[in-house]
Amino acid sequence: MHNEFETEKKQIGMGKQAAVYLYDSFAYKVYKPPYPVTWIEYEIENQQKLCKTNLPVVNYFKTEDPYVIKMDYIDGISLGERIKSQGYKQGVEDLIRLQKEIHLIQNIDLPKITERFFSQLEKIDYENKYKTLGLKLLKEIEDKDSLCHLDFHFNNVMFSNDRYFILDWVNIGVCNPIFDFARTYVILYEYVNRMSQKYLSLLKKDKSIETKDLYKAIYIMALLRTAEGAGPRVYDLIEKTYDMVLQNE
Ligand X SMILES: Nc1ncnc2c1ncn2[C@@H]1O[C@H](COP(=O)(O)OP(=O)(O)O)[C@@H](O)[C@H]1O
DSSP SS3 for 122 = helix
Stretch that binds ligand X, among 7-15, 171-179, 201-209, 228-236 (CB under 6 A): 7-15
DSSP secondary structure letters along 205-249: H-TTS--TTHHHHHHHHHHHHGGG---HHHHHHHHHHHHHHHHT-
CB of residue 75 vs ligand X: minimum separation in angstroms? 7
CB of residue 151 vs Mg ion: minimum separation in angstroms? 7
CB of residue 102 vs ligand X: minimum separation in angstroms? 15
161/229 Cα distance (integer angstroms): 36
Which position among 78, 99, 156, 184 is part of the footprint of Mg ion (CB under 5 A)?
Answer: 156
The maximal CA–CA distance of the chain, rounded, in angstroms, is: 62
Which position among 21, 23, 27, 182 is part of the footprint of ligand X (CB under 6 A)?
Answer: 27
Count of C-beta atoms within a 10 Å radius of residue 110: 19
Which position among 78, 146, 196, 241 is part of the footprint of ligand X (CB under 6 A)?
Answer: 78
Count of C-beta atoms within a 10 Å radius of residue 168: 20
CB of residue 229 vs ligand X: minimum separation in angstroms? 15
Q: Which residue is nearest to ligand X (CB)?
A: 15
81, interface contact from Mg ion, ligand X, none, CB < 5-8 Å by kind? none
Q: Please give the backbone phi and psi of residue 70, each rounded to the nearest 5 degrees, phi first.
A: -95, 135
Number of residues that bind Mg ion (CB under 5 A): 3
Smallest CA-to-CA distance from 220 within 126, 147, 146 is with 126
50 binds ligand X (CB under 6 A): no
CB of residue 46 vs ligand X: minimum separation in angstroms? 13
Count of C-beta atoms within a 10 Å radius of residue 89: 8
CB within 8 Å of 191: residues ≥ 6 apart: 153
Q: What is the DSSP letter of 106?
A: B
The residues in 143-162 that bind ligand X, with binding defined as CB under 6 A, are 155-156, 158
168 binds Mg ion (CB under 5 A): yes
Please identify, using beta-carbon distances, which residue of 15 and 56 lies nearer to Mg ion.
15
The residues in 165-184 that bind ligand X, with binding defined as CB under 6 A, are 167-168
43 binds Mg ion (CB under 5 A): no
Which ranges of 10-127 does DSSP label H, i.e. alpha helix?
37-51, 79-86, 91-103, 114-123
Which position among 1, 5, 9, 13 is part of the footprint of ligand X (CB under 6 A)?
Answer: 13
Please identify, using beta-carbon distances, which residue of 154 and 185 lies nearer to ligand X.
154
Smallest CA-to-CA distance from 157 within 90, 78, 89 is with 78
Q: List interacting residues with ligand X (CB under 6 A).
A: 12-13, 15, 17-18, 20, 27, 29, 58, 71-74, 78, 155-156, 158, 167-168
Q: List interacting residues with Mg ion (CB under 5 A).
A: 15, 156, 168
